[in-house]
Amino acid sequence: MNQTALVITSIAGSDSSTLKIYAKECSYRNIPFIVIGDTKSPDTFDLPGCDFWSMDRQLKFNSKLAPLIPTRHYARKNLGYLIALQNGAKTIMETDDDNVPLGNDFWDFCSRSPMVEAYGVNVEGWVNVYRYFSEKVVWPRGLPLEEVRKPTKPLKELELIKICCPIQQGLADGNPDVDAVYRLTYPLPLNFEKEIQVALGKNSWCPFNSQNTFWFKEAMPLMYLPAHCSFRMTDIWRSFIAQRISWENGWSVLFHEATVWQERNEHDLLKDFEDEIPGYMNNTKIALALAALDLPKGREHIHDNLIKCYDIMIENGWVGEQEAPMVRAWCEDTSRITG
């Protein structure tokens, strides 16, 4: 098996033009392409180059987590990660079915290393990384609204360093990952600057998403997507927890140029806004609570640290109590698979 796998969750059929692009390119590059379906998926799915997992097939997968994940939920993507891991993937790239790869740029990142040269950011607090890639007013989904107008340290004042980044977030051109407030008040499309890499270090917060993200094996236990929270926050709150635990491993999170073009699926922006309210109200509180946790250092503690982070999320009511058995099942599954 190729050391890299691509994971998408989708209810689209095998006639999806985007899924066809990924299937063709993955076949050409010998990259396993895993698509996780749901109850709304078509009864038949036939796409060469794609390993499609129906609900029936998912429930037969040897996983303690599989039967616990709600149906019709983005968190079913967790099973795609587990399947890729079990099949031997050393790296996992993930995206969505409305993100089109930008030529070879998307695929060229498949052969990269966790050690990268990037501009290091080590300021305490929130960082609007998008401002390093655009002179326009723009911010990522999940950035607290009270931080939107906060000045960003100029790129020329940052040092170019070699740094370990086992989590690497690519941006998206066209219709980038911004929140409903932005979409309701600012014009799109928007394209980002190229050939820029920024790495956020300890105590620096910026949300990252699941739409164009590359994970190296050492960080894969942090891929867990919570199910018992707002749909618009599942990958954002995952990113906060992943960043917090990364600090205890000496890792930074990399943000790099756009390698996909988003042709966004149809959304009700007011419904998106409603689903984002838990983030607008709580993201700063969540960051403070996670930062205050006393977490042990080292990769050997990564699962225990993940559980501690979710326990504080549950204790404060940011995610539901049903998350507790799920995250523990995830830890058991990943521990069993990776040994």
- The pLDDT of residue 43: 84
User: Which pLDDT belongs to residue 103?
Assistant: 83
Q: How far apart are CA 84 and CA 91, in angstroms?
A: 9
Reported confidence tier of residue 111, pLDDT bands at 50, 70, 90 = low
Residue 267 confidence (pLDDT) above 90: no
Beta bridge partners of 92: 5, 215
Dist CA 5 CA 91 (whole Å): 7
Token digits of residue 301:
């503690």
* Contact indicator for 321, 69 with CB cutoff of 8 Å: no
2, with CB counted inside 10 A (0-12, 13-18, 19+), is middle
Q: Which domains does the chain have, with CATH numbers?
A: 4-338 (3.90.550)
User: If we measure between CA atoms, which residue out of 234, 247, 280, 251 comes closest to residue 114?
Assistant: 251
106 contacts 8 by C-beta, under 8 angstroms: no
Characterize 99-126 residue by residue with b for buried, 16 or more Cβ atoms within 10 angstroms of its Cβ, and e for exposed.
Answer: bbbbeeebbebbeeebebebbbbbeeeb
Tokens of residue 319, six digits: 């995610």
Say if residue 276's pLDDT is above 60. Answer: yes
Residue 104 has pLDDT above 90, yes or no: no
Per-residue confidence at 112, pLDDT binned at 50, 70, 90? confident
pLDDT at residue 1 is higher than 70:
no
229-245 per-position pLDDT tens digit: 999 999 999 999 999 99
| Residue carrying structure tokens 């076949």 | 27
Give yes or no for residue 264 having a pLDDT over 90: no
Structure tokens belonging to residue 74 = 């983005």
Rg of the Cα atoms in the chain: 19
Residue 2's pLDDT band (cuts 50, 70, 90): low
Amino acid occupying residue 278: P
Percentage of residues in the chain having pLDDT higher than 90: 91
E strands, the chain, are: 4-9, 33-36, 51-53, 91-95, 99-101, 115-121, 125-126, 159-164, 167-173, 197-200, 204-205, 212-216, 253-262
What's the mean pLDDT when you consider all of the chain?
Answer: 95
Length of the chain: 339
Contact by Cβ (8 Å): 99, 212: yes
Query: Quick one: angle between helices 269-291 and 302-315, nearest 10?
Result: 120
Q: Quick check: 109 pLDDT over 80? A: no
Is residue 28 within a helix (H) or strand (E), and if so which, with residue range?
A: helix 17-29
Cα(321)–Cα(312) distance, rounded to whole angstroms? 11
Q: What confidence tier does 143 reach under pLDDT thresholds 50, 70, 90?
A: very high
Give the mean pLDDT of 33-61: 94
The pLDDT value recorded for residue 108 is 84
> By CB neighbour count within 10 A (0-12 exposed, 13-18 middle, 19+ buried), where does 326 fall?
buried
Q: What is the pLDDT of residues 282-325, one digit of tens each?
A: 999 999 999 999 999 999 999 999 999 999 999 999 999 999 99
Q: For 162-211, how does the pLDDT look when each residue is reduced to its tens digit (9 = 90+)?
A: 999 999 999 999 999 999 999 999 999 999 999 999 999 999 999 999 99
In this prediction, residue 338 carries a pLDDT of 86
Q: What angle do CA 80, 81, 84 make, to 5 degrees?
A: 85
In the block, residue with structure tokens 């340290």? 153
Q: Pull the structure tokens for residue 102.
A: 């930008």
> Which residue reads 């503690």 in tokens?
301
Cα atoms in the 13 Å half-sphere on the side-chain side of 241: 29
Residue 53 has, within 13 A of its CA and on its CB side, a CA count of 23
Tokens of 287: 């960051």
Distance between CA atoms of 37 and 41, rounded to whole angstroms?
6
Above 70 in pLDDT, residue 110?
no
pTM exceeds 0.75? yes
Rounded Cα distance, 63 and 55, in Å:
13
Strand partners, 36: 9, 53
